[in-house]
Amino acid sequence: GTVRKESGMQVAKAVGGHVVVAGESGEFKVPLSRTPRGALQQKVLDEDTYTDAMKRIVERDYFPELPYLRAKQSLDDAVRSRDQAAIRAAQSQLRRAAATPSGRMQST
């Protein structure tokens, strides 16, 4: 490969297009991997897992009121059924959903 001096450092082009730099000691170090660091940690998802994750992200980012609306609908359904256990569970779910990330409560 070609070796040249640039501002006190020796620079050489290695095989595969890598630029290898040596310091004053003259020791050249080759990169460990050609794979980007992020690619090493990626995981391939099946279609169902991917679409479920995307649904949760879209709901969280664009429709944050949906969990509250679902909880309110659950409470309405429980009241119509007159099932006391279902009403208590739906009320609890509604209280949890009404708490916004900022700590304020939505009106119920």
pLDDT score recorded for residue 27? 66
What number of residues does the chain have? 108
> Region 80-99: what's the mean pLDDT?
92
Q: Which of 14, 104, 41 lies closest to 68 in space, CA to CA?
A: 104
Res. 64 pLDDT band, cuts 50 70 90: confident
Answering whether pTM is above 0.75, one says no
> Region 45-64: what's the mean pLDDT?
93
Q: What is the CA radius of gyration of the chain?
A: 29
> Region 42-66: what's the mean pLDDT?
92
> Region 77-87: what's the mean pLDDT?
95
pLDDT score recorded for residue 99? 81
Q: What share of the chain has pLDDT > 90, as a percent? A: 39
